[in-house]
């Protein structure tokens, strides 16, 4: 039974956290993909990346991403051409994968289950950080390339998460859940960086307080640019088109209003009203309050 706000957030987090098995590919199927990429491009590594690698994925919404470190000499300079070439190669050599180019990755079926898809992100190894984390360039979604280090990004999330008793990753999940449930046209990568940057300066996290503070910081600079804390990706922009920014700002304003009303209700001791407004933040997905008789 959900009788406290803390219980409500814990129950909600349990609902939105995916099962570990959802990231697995059939070994034979994965071997065929790797063999195809190796024969045509030269494959140095094929590994899990993205939100499932960082421990911040959302059940039913987050994409399962695999990075494919390919031979640079066989790839076009333009990342869109690179994605198209990888897509065409997979389609021709592995009939049935139903490859599609999606922004910075190639989406394919995850095997015989046609309901599941995974994304392959072509990457070029460029070096490593002073801490030994490998650095890659990956498609940026506009035809160019951007710098990325999945290992370094995971390390900083784990470090801050550890300092905050394991509450950073859940906070990121909460902000991402708002994005997905309310269809806010902003990248998960951007939100993940915002949450991590915010939490790095905190001594403790309380979901009902810090969720709103993260959104308030985003509101204050209107989805402004932020710097990668490790300096690997440089300055990261929200990359919102004018129409998308208008939608994002509107939905952020609404979320902040609902959070404010929820916090006012909590201060007044009205738990039914508190849960009502948190439910509005997450579009009806937040647990219901069970009043004690």
Residue 233 has pLDDT above 70, yes or no: no
- Within-domain flag for 286: no
pLDDT score for 231: 65
Distances (CA, A) of 1 to 14, 40, 98, 230, 293: 14, 55, 44, 42, 13
- Within-domain flag for 276: yes
Parallel/antiparallel/unpaired status of strands 145-148 and 226-227:
unpaired
Question: Which stretches within 140-241 are classed as H helix?
Answer: 150-163, 168-181, 188-199, 207-220
What is d(CA 127, CA 278) in angstroms, rounded to the nearest whole number?
A: 44
What is d(CA 58, CA 170) in angstroms, rounded to the nearest whole number?
A: 10
- Within-domain flag for 289: no
pLDDT score for 264: 98
Residue 72 has pLDDT above 80, yes or no: no
What is d(CA 97, CA 118) in angstroms, rounded to the nearest whole number?
A: 10
Specify the pTM.
Answer: 0.91
pLDDT score for 21: 64
Parallel/antiparallel/unpaired status of strands 117-128 and 64-70:
parallel
Of the ranges 14-23, 112-121, 260-269, the best mean pLDDT one: 260-269
> Whose structure tokens read 């009806």?
284
pLDDT score for 271: 95
Residue 268 has pLDDT above 90, yes or no: yes
Contact 37, 68 (CB under 8 A): yes
- Within-domain flag for 148: yes
Q: How many domains does the chain have?
A: 1
- Within-domain flag for 129: yes
Per the structure, the complete domain to which residue 61 belongs is given by 5-281
Mean pLDDT of 61-83: 90
Which pLDDT band holds residue 22 (cuts at 50, 70, 90)?
low
Which pLDDT band holds residue 25 (cuts at 50, 70, 90)?
confident
Which pLDDT band holds residue 5 (cuts at 50, 70, 90)?
very high
């Amino acid at each position: 039974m959900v009788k406290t706000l803390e219980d409500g957030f814990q129950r909600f987090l349990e609902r939105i956290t995916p099962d570990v098995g959802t990231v697995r590919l059939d070994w034979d199927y994965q071997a065929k993909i790797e063999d195809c990429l190796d024969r045509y491009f030269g494959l140095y590594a094929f590994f899990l990346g993205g939100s499932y690698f960082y421990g911040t994925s959302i059940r039913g919404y987050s994409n399962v991403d695999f990075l494919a470190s390919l031979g640079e000499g066989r790839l076009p300079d333009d990342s869109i051409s690179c994605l198209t070439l990888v897509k065409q190669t997979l389609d021709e050599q592995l009939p049935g994968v139903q490859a599609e180019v999606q922004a910075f990755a190639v989406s394919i079926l995850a095997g015989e289950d046609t309901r599941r898809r995974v994304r392959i992100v072509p990457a070029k190894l460029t070096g490593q950080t002073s801490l030994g984390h490998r650095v890659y360039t990956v498609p940026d979604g506009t035809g160019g390339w951007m710098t990325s280090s999945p290992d370094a990004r995971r390390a900083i999330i784990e470090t801050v998460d550890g300092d905050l008793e394991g509450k950073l990753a859940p906070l990121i999940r909460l902000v991402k859940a708002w994005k997905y449930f309310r269809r806010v046209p902003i990248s998960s990568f951007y939100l993940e960086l915002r949450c991590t940057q915010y939490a790095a300066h905190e001594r403790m996290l309380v979901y009902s307080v810090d969720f709103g503070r993260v959104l308030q910081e985003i509101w204050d600079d209107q989805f402004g640019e932020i710097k990668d804390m490790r300096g690997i990706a440089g300055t990261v922009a929200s990359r919102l088109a004018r129409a998308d920014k208008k939608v994002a700002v509107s939905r952020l304003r609404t979320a902040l209003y609902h959070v404010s009303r929820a916090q006012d209700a909590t201060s007044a001791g009205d738990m039914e009203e508190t849960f009502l407004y948190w439910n509005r933040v997450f579009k009806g997905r937040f647990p219901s309050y069970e009043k004690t008789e």
